[in-house]
Amino acid sequence: MKEQNYIKMEFPSKSSNEAFARAAAAAFAAQLDPTMEELGDIKTAVSEAVTNAIVHAYPDEIGRVSMRLRILEGQVLEISVKDWGCGIEDVEKAMQPLYTTGGEDRSGMGFTIIGSFMDKLSVRSRPGKGTTVVMRRRICPRIGKR
């Protein structure tokens, strides 16, 4: 798919940056004229992906998180969240509902939630090297708009 626009940002893995990442994603996605529901879905998915990087990738230190957003042809929004943290030993297992490495205060539903709000979800990870989560969502053109 041909790229029509993009942004890339990087921030420390501090929980205070999760809200900023969510707001930045919503602001970038606004150029596609999403409905409030679509915008809410995008913000939720970004919150989950960024929170996963903050909580799981760097459990004992502050690291780097990168977020890249692209608008692809066909009204498709692609969001990539990348970290250089501890990585995921078993991605398939990590994507199962209720599985968590974050202790009893974590639900283990992050990837499940992301998958339910996005059209496509892929997770690539290497232990000791980091994780990249790529999400795609097609934004439906509104009636009467081109």
How long a stretch of residues is the chain? 146
Residue 119 burial (CB < 10 Å; 0-12/13-18/19+)?
A: exposed
Q: How far is CA 78 from CA 2, 4, 134, in A?
A: 12, 11, 7
How would you label 23-53 residue by residue, b for 16+ Cβ within 10 Å and e otherwise?
Answer: ebbeebbeebebeeebbebbbbbbbbbbbbb
Catalytically active residues are 48, 52, 106
Q: Tell how far CA 140 is from the center of its chain.
A: 20
